[in-house]
Every structure is written in C-alpha cells, then in structure tokens.
Amino acid sequence: MKKQNNSKLRIIPLGGLESIGMNITAFEYGDSIIVVDCGLAFPEDDMYGIDLCVPVITYLQDNIERVKAFFFTHGHEDHIGALPYVLLEVNVPIYATKLTMGLIEHKLEEHDLLDKVRRKVVSYGQHINMGDFRVEFIKTNHSIQDAAALAIYSPAGIVVHTGDFKVDYTPVYGDAIDLQRFGEIGKKGVLALMCDSTNAERPGFTMTESTVGKVFDSIFADHKTQRIIIATFASNVDRVQQIINTACKFGRKVVVEGRSMVNIISIASELGYLDIPDNTLIEEDYMKNYPDEKMVLITTGSQGEPLAALSRMANGTHKKVRITPNDLIVFSSNPIPGNEKAVSRIINELYQKSADVIFQDTHVSGHACQEEIKLIYSLLQPKYSIPVHGEYKHRKAQAQLAATLGIPKDRILMLDSGDVLEIDEESAEVVGTVPHGSVFVDGLGIGDVGNIVMRDRQHLAEDGIIIVVLTLESGSGQLLAGPDIVSRGFVYVRESESLMDEAQQVVNEAVYRMVDRHITDWGKIKSEIRDALGDFVWKKTKRRPMLIPIIMEV
C-alpha cells in the first residue's frame, strides 16, 4: 500500500448519520472504493404504504469499476437489510463474520441472489487485502453475536470503525471484546475513529447481557402458575438463549412465534450460536397439550409493530394465541426512539385483557455508554473523531465526550450523509457532497414511489379525494351525462347530503358556464371545475381534498 502523490483518504457516509438506521459508508483511496455496511431504515409514520427505505447509491453506481467489496460489522437490519436491493446495481464480493454471513445468505436466498454473489466468511484477526485497502476484523460485543469493529488500513493512515458495540466482560456466548487488539492498533497510530454514538448521552457503563438471565430466573420463580410470553428483538440471540435456559430450568416448553424470530433462531441454531436442549421447542399447534404453567412463548413485536405477532395477540387477531388473564407478558426491550406510542398502545391492550405485563428491568442495551466510549478513545488515541450511528443529538454527545478527552474541536468532525471528507495526517475537510437519501421500497417496487407520490399519499390521508365525472359529446362539446361527484375520505356522504348537494350545484354551474361559452378544451374545463369546487369546499369545511375531474368523450 504505497502512498500516492497528493492522494488523501476519502470517507463518504451515504446514510446513517441523521437517524437510527440505513448505515452505509464508502471509503475511497486512489482507484479503490470499499463499503462498510449496507443497512435499511424503517418508514416513518407519514410514509403511507412504504415497507422499507434503502440508501441512494448513485455514487457507487457511477464508480462501479472502482468498488471492490462490502464489509459488514454485524447482522442487524440497519446494517445488512438493504444489501439485496443494492446488489442488483452494485454486485461485488461480501466479507462478514460467520453469523452475519448466515443472516445475509438467508436474505440473498429470499431474493434469489445466493448463486450470483461472491461471499467470504472472515475470522477475527483476519486481514483482507482489497485494492489500496487492508481490512482487519476485531472482536466486539453487541446484542447480536459475531459483531466486529473494522480497522481499515490505507496509505493515508488507519481508520477504526467500531460498528455497533459495547464492552461486555461476561458475555452469554463467546469471548469478551478484544480490548488488547484495540490497544495494539492504538500504538501504531490511528488517523480517525468512527465510533457508535447510540448511547453517548448515557453516563456510566452498559450492563452485561448476563444480568438479564438472573432477572428472568426471578420472574419465572414469581409466576409459576402463569403462561409467560416474552417479546424481544428477533436478532438478540443471547437473550433468546437465556430465555431458553430459564425455561429449561423451570421445566417449561418453548414456542417461537413470529417469522423473523423463527428464521434467526433456525440460522443461529444451525451455525452453533444457540444451544437448545432436545424436546424444548414445540410447534404452536401442540400448545394446547400443555398447561399454562408449562409454557413460554418467545415472540416478535416488542416495538409495537402493527403486524408483528404480539400486536396480533393483543388485538385479538392472532389465529392461534389468545391472551387470557393468566398470561404474563414480558417486554424484554426498550422502545426505539419514535416507537414509544406504539409500545404503550400494546401494553394498554394487554392490560385491558386482564393480563399481567412487565416492561422494566428486563433489558440491557447493546450499545456503549460514555465510559466504554471513553475506554475505546483512550486505547486508540485517534487524531480525528468522527461520531457515527445515531441521531444528531447522540453524535453531538459523543463529540462533547471526545473534547473532554483532549481531542481539539477542529479535529472532531460532525459529518452529514453525502459529505465527502478528505483526510490525511495533515488535514481533514469536507470537499463536496454526493447524492444521498432514501429509495422507497413498496411491495415489489423499488424506487417507483418518489417524493411526488408520497406527497399525494399524505394529501389523500389528510384530506381525502373528490372525483367529478362528466361525459361530453365529441365535436360539439355538449354535456351528455353528469357531472357526478364521488368522494372518499372527505366526508361521510349520507350524513352530509346538503353539503354534497351544494357541491353538485357548484360543479353544475361551472360546467354549464363552459358549455355556454362553447369551450371544448378539456384542460380549461378541468381547471374551472377544480377552482370552483376547491373554493367552495374550503369556504364550507376549511379542508383541501384532492380534486380530480374526469372527462369522457362520446
């Protein structure tokens, strides 16, 4: 890796810096581009009908001949979820640890891409040479197994990207974070640290995952006669392991509910990341053969997702599980910012069914708090700090933390998605921007719903629609039928007959005015109907429904 004349390392975050999700960052030096992570974001409440949001990758498409590979830090959706969509445009090799690759391969199989993509499973400590880069995978802890930080070696210097991490000295499975390796890399001299900011506002240390096991033990001991339903993140394999351990200890059978939960447990079991004793798991259909005190359900829906298994149980639409007063529901997660209302709604519905609910002290975060972030900074001693992963307030909290550790403010770089940062030992500056943002996935359509369509959907959701239909005679422009008015989502017609009669009269007058003046231009007729009806509706209701005149010619 020889340093090229006047060449600096470019760091280009294409997503993940304004919100939780859609993490993807390009690193560029000379003729080589590598990409770290490729995540999706879930839609906001006002994105009607949208299933997923994936990042805009125009820059990668425009430089496709220089893109060498994707490297993944761990297997959460906000880091791997967009990959099947992005690979359709940028098909390059993939490097990831064992469980992360198992989850990626499941996605590729669903999208019929498994045989079309080159993949390599990487071990901790392994170095991958890729063009002008060398990438090393370093063991970290997170709420999913096989998480890794990446040391990215370039001729301009070493950049360490932590991925999502915490420092857990007593993990449920596997080894603790490799702090020794962080220290060794720190001694080599680190140009920049890109560190997880999710919990940067929280003082102290994140508790170890194994403490949750003790909480489960006491919950099971205190509720021996009830059926226990535990909602958690599907990807938190260690949490699932602890639930299974406690269930076995108390002689209970386990049912797994929710598609993503079933998929991840199956993949983790096959790869040896879950130890499930024989005859512990049973199919949902056999639940009726066991009394409540012998049953545990592990389910999705801890974030109040409307279609997840727990939501369907709570609102009574689940086909096989009915909530009863003898149920205890445990939320083993914290609401992700923005999901608080949805979680609260589910809890209220469960209480209304007379079930017991526990939603405190049954979760620990997978992200580093302030003391762990300080530890990583102290070990690496980076020249520059680049806070990543989180909303702006989270990243700002890390920036303030970095300043207290002695990093000069002009070396703490608060980037935005799309920024092009040029960096080397002498300087670091944003020299431009590249296209960035979200592509909406709706059903099988990728990108066919854009901002204009979203604006229409919001308009329809807020004010409804009125359609005016009329038939004109070809040539003469005489009115043959109509105008008829149809409305949806505006007012309930049967209870607003006088309003609709007046609206009909307004449209009639507008149409007859045009006919009397022998105007046959459809555009003018539609415009006149829109203006007249729009003014009338606004005066009467202070609403602006979408108005669509339809003219048929005979």
CA distance 257 to 236: 15
Residue 484 has pLDDT above 50, yes or no: yes
Residue 331 has pLDDT above 80, yes or no: yes
* 368: nearest Cα among 184, 502, 179, 117: 179
The per-residue pLDDT for 248 is 94
> Distance of alpha carbon 39 from its chain centroid, rounded?
7
pLDDT band, residue 270 (cuts 50/70/90): very high
Residues 170, 210 contacting (CB under 8 angstroms) = yes
Residue 28 has pLDDT above 90, yes or no: yes
The per-residue pLDDT for 383 is 97
Whose tokens are 């108390």? That residue is 250
Residue 122 has pLDDT above 80, yes or no: yes
- If you average pLDDT over residues 500-507, what whole number do you get? 81
Q: What percent of the chain has pLDDT over 90?
A: 61
- If you average pLDDT over residues 369-374, what whole number do you get? 97
- 483 preceded by a cis bond (ω within 30 of 0): yes
Residue 230 has pLDDT above 80, yes or no: yes
- If you average pLDDT over residues 61-77, what whole number do you get? 95
The angle formed by the CA atoms of residues 316, 319 and 320, to the nearest 5 degrees, is 100
Catalytic residue, candidates 164, 196, 424, 442: 196
The per-residue pLDDT for 228 is 96
* 365: nearest Cα among 490, 252, 262, 233: 233
The per-residue pLDDT for 54 is 83
The per-residue pLDDT for 43 is 65
- If you average pLDDT over residues 409-415, what whole number do you get? 95
The number of beta carbons lying within 10 Å of the beta carbon of residue 21 is 23
The per-residue pLDDT for 454 is 61
CA distance 73 to 83: 13
pTM higher than 0.85 for the full model? no
The per-residue pLDDT for 186 is 97
The per-residue pLDDT for 483 is 77
Residue 279 has pLDDT above 60, yes or no: yes
- If you average pLDDT over residues 312-316, what whole number do you get? 91
pLDDT band, residue 2 (cuts 50/70/90): very low
Residue 495 has pLDDT above 80, yes or no: no
Residues 215, 362 contacting (CB under 8 angstroms) = yes
* 149: nearest Cα among 135, 159, 163: 163
Q: What percent of the chain has pLDDT over 70?
A: 92
CA distance 179 to 290: 47
Catalytic residue, candidates 76, 223, 363, 367: 367
Give the CA distances from residue 162 to residues 74, 77, 99, 197, 393, in Å, rounded to whole numbers and listed in that order.
10, 17, 18, 10, 19
- If you average pLDDT over residues 445-471, what whole number do you get? 72
CA distance 513 to 519: 9
Total residue length of the chain: 554
Least confident of 302-316, 365-379, 411-425, 500-514: 500-514
Whose tokens are 């090799």? That residue is 93
The per-residue pLDDT for 542 is 80
Q: pLDDT by residue (tens digit) across 188-217?
A: 999 999 999 999 999 999 999 889 989 999
Q: Is 367 a catalytic residue?
A: yes
Residues 421, 11 contacting (CB under 8 angstroms) = yes
Least confident of 115-119, 198-202, 446-450: 446-450
Comparing 349 with 445, which gets the higher pLDDT?
349
The per-residue pLDDT for 5 is 45
Q: What integer best gives the mean pLDDT of the chain?
A: 88
pLDDT band, residue 475 (cuts 50/70/90): low
* 96: nearest Cα among 78, 77, 117, 70: 70
Residue 347 has pLDDT above 90, yes or no: yes
pLDDT band, residue 494 (cuts 50/70/90): low
CA distance 274 to 102: 13
Least confident of 240-254, 491-505, 526-540: 491-505
Instruction: State the DSSP code for 141.
Output: B
Least confident of 19-33, 85-99, 425-439, 499-513: 499-513
Residues 388, 16 contacting (CB under 8 angstroms) = yes
